[in-house]
């Protein structure tokens, strides 16, 4: 009984321990190509291996970006679009994934490369910095600055382009340095959408020179991370006894009030104490010394709740509460004017008195009047030596 049952037991044991799909060969994709489809944009494309057997399996593809920034993901599609800075080249690879139930099998990798953009070493721009600004509810400006490459000849001319989604545009206005080289670009109007979250802005700067081939440079910016917020609006500051009260409206922006934070810069003009307070709402109340005077400024930024933080806005105008510093200055000026005018009137009165005396006593000669004025003010006449 035991001997006759042994073959059946071994057969069941083999069936439960042999991997599903064992013996199935997974073949790599074919015709893998990399194509530059826009500024800093690469189209990855491949085709399924025609000899691949599916056997009721699901085929996906594992894609790995090797440079300039490592990234790995899988997809059902045979094409993929990636945005990356391409001045130093681009490298990626892909392989086939065969899925059978909970089992996953993979092929060998197929790799592709794009060479670096041509140009002489150290001729690319450096220290590229960009800032966007919502000038009106429907418009965003863009300003970028950079430094010339250390190896760039003096006759180098740089030219900036930006790409946002499918729109590409060349800089209309460049600012030059002392050597007449472009080092700044301003777009008063752009196609950048202020209400979008974490879209990429591509900056491409190439150049020309009669002495060398200038290597292009590309950099990607998160549009929210480089936005400079606007100053808060309709700021109202008051001092009621020992309570400092402040209210304002959010800056011009498509984002809601809860997407902002503020800094409140307070100076006690009596003691000289300074403090910066962080505030998450658009109103503020603080207990202060009511006998002091204060100067207040306010600025805004986006918070991390709604989007990536950008740059702080400029400070608002300075507000004064309590005994206003400006009023003190005016009081001093008026006091000085009064003292000055009093002295002037006194001097005029003395001169008029002396002058009238000369007119009454007609027997006095002009020389005698002159001597009398000199004696009145303590002047000692100088007698000419014979």
Q: What is the rounded CA–CA span in Å between residue 142 and residue 223?
A: 10
Q: What is the pLDDT of residue 332?
A: 53
Look at 16 and 24; give whichever has higher pLDDT: 24
CB 157 within 8 A of CB 181: yes
Cβ neighbours of residue 69 under 8 Å, at least 6 residues apart?
Answer: 84
Q: What is the rounded CA–CA span in Å between residue 134 and residue 141?
A: 6
Q: How confident is the model at residue 206 (pLDDT cuts 50, 70, 90)?
A: very high
Give the number of other Cβ atoms within 10 Å of residue 23's Cβ: 6
Provide the total of helices (H) and of strands (E) in the chain, helices listed first.
3, 24
Q: How confident is the model at residue 358 (pLDDT cuts 50, 70, 90)?
A: very low
Q: What is the rounded CA–CA span in Å between residue 107 and residue 59?
A: 11
Q: How confident is the model at residue 383 (pLDDT cuts 50, 70, 90)?
A: very low
Beta bridge partners of 126: 147
Task: Find the distance separating the first CA and the last CA of the chain, reported in whole Å.
Answer: 164
Residue 16 has pLDDT above 80, yes or no: no
Q: How confident is the model at residue 322 (pLDDT cuts 50, 70, 90)?
A: confident
The per-residue pLDDT for range 211-257, each reduced to its tens digit, is 999 999 999 999 999 999 999 999 999 998 889 999 999 999 999 99
Q: What is the pLDDT of residue 10?
A: 36
- Per mean pLDDT, which of 83-87, 195-199, 329-333 is the most reliable? 83-87
The per-residue pLDDT for range 80-111, each reduced to its tens digit, is 999 999 999 999 999 999 998 888 999 999 99
| Residues of the chain above pLDDT 90, percent | 67
Burial of 262: CB neighbours in 10 Å, binned 0-12, 13-18, 19+? buried
Q: What is the rounded CA–CA span in Å between residue 126 and residue 214?
A: 13
What global pTM score does this model have? 0.74
The per-residue pLDDT for range 129-139, each reduced to its tens digit, is 999 999 988 89
The per-residue pLDDT for range 292-315, each reduced to its tens digit, is 999 999 999 999 888 888 999 999
Cβ neighbours of residue 45 under 8 Å, at least 6 residues apart?
Answer: 31, 32, 33, 35, 78, 79, 80
Look at 320 and 355; give whichever has higher pLDDT: 320
| Residue of 152, 145, 90 whose CA lies nearest to 124 | 152
Give the number of other Cβ atoms within 10 Å of residue 326's Cβ: 11
Residue 11 has pLDDT above 50, yes or no: no
Q: What is the pLDDT of residue 218?
A: 98
Q: How confident is the model at residue 325 (pLDDT cuts 50, 70, 90)?
A: very low
CB 217 within 8 A of CB 157: no
What average pLDDT score do residues 363-385 get? 48
Listed range (1-5, 120-124, 162-166, 223-227) with the worst mean pLDDT: 1-5
Computed over every residue of the chain, the mean pLDDT equals 85
| Residues of the chain above pLDDT 70, percent | 79
Give the number of other Cβ atoms within 10 Å of residue 255's Cβ: 20
CB 122 within 8 A of CB 151: yes
Residue 355 has pLDDT above 60, yes or no: no
What average pLDDT score do residues 194-214 get? 95
Q: How confident is the model at residue 22 (pLDDT cuts 50, 70, 90)?
A: low
- Per mean pLDDT, which of 190-199, 323-332, 354-363, 367-376 is the most reliable? 190-199
Classify the C-alpha dihedral 210-212-213-217 as positive or negative: negative
Q: What is the pLDDT of residue 24?
A: 78
CA 117 to chain centre: 27
Quick one: the chain helix, strand, coil %, rounded to 5? 15, 45, 40
Residue 380 has pLDDT above 60, yes or no: no
């Amino acid at each position: 009984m035991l001997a006759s049952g042994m073959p059946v037991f071994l057969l069941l044991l083999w069936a439960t321990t042999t991997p599903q799909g064992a013996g199935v060969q997974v073949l790599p994709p074919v015709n893998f190509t990399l194509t530059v489809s826009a500024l800093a944009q690469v189209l990855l494309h491949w085709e399924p291996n025609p000899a691949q057997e599916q056997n009721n399996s699901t085929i996906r593809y594992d894609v790995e970006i090797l440079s300039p920034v490592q990234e790995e993901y899988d997809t059902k599609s045979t094409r993929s679009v990636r945005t990356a800075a391409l001045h130093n080249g681009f490298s990626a690879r892909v392989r086939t994934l065969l899925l059978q139930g909970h089992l996953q099998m993979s092929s060998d990798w197929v790799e592709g490369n794009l060479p670096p953009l041509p140009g002489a070493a150290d001729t690319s721009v450096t220290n590229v910095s960009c800032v966007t600004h919502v000038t009106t509810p429907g418009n965003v400006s863009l300003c970028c600055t950079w430094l010339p490459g250390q190896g760039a000849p003096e006759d180098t001319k740089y030219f900036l382009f930006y790409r946002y989604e499918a729109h590409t545009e060349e800089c209309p206005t460049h600012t030059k340095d002392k050597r007449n080289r472009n080092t700044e670009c301003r777009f008063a109007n752009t196609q950048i959408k202020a209400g979008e979250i974490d879209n990429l802005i591509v900056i491409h700067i190439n150049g020309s020179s009669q002495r060398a081939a200038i290597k292009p440079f590309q950099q990607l910016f998160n549009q929210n991370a480089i936005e400079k917020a606007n100053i808060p609006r309709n700021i109202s500051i008051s001092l009621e006894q020992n309570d400092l009260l402040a209210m304002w409206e959010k800056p011009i922006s498509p984002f809601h009030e809860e997407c902002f934070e503020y800094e409140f810069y307070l100076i006690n003009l009596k003691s000289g104490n300074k403090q910066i307070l962080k505030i998450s709402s658009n109103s503020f109340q603080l207990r202060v010394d009511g006998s002091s005077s204060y100067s207040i400024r306010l600025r805004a930024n986006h918070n991390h709740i709604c989007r990536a933080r950008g740059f702080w806005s400029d400070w608002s105008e300075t507000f004064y509460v309590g005994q206003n510093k400006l009023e003190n200055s005016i009081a001093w000026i008026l006091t000085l004017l009064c003292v000055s005018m009093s002295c002037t009137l006194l001097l005029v009165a003395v001169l008029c008195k002396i002058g009238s005396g000369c007119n009454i006593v007609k027997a006095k000669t002009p020389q005698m009047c002159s001597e009398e004025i000199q004696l009145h003010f303590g002047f000692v006449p100088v007698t000419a030596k014979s």
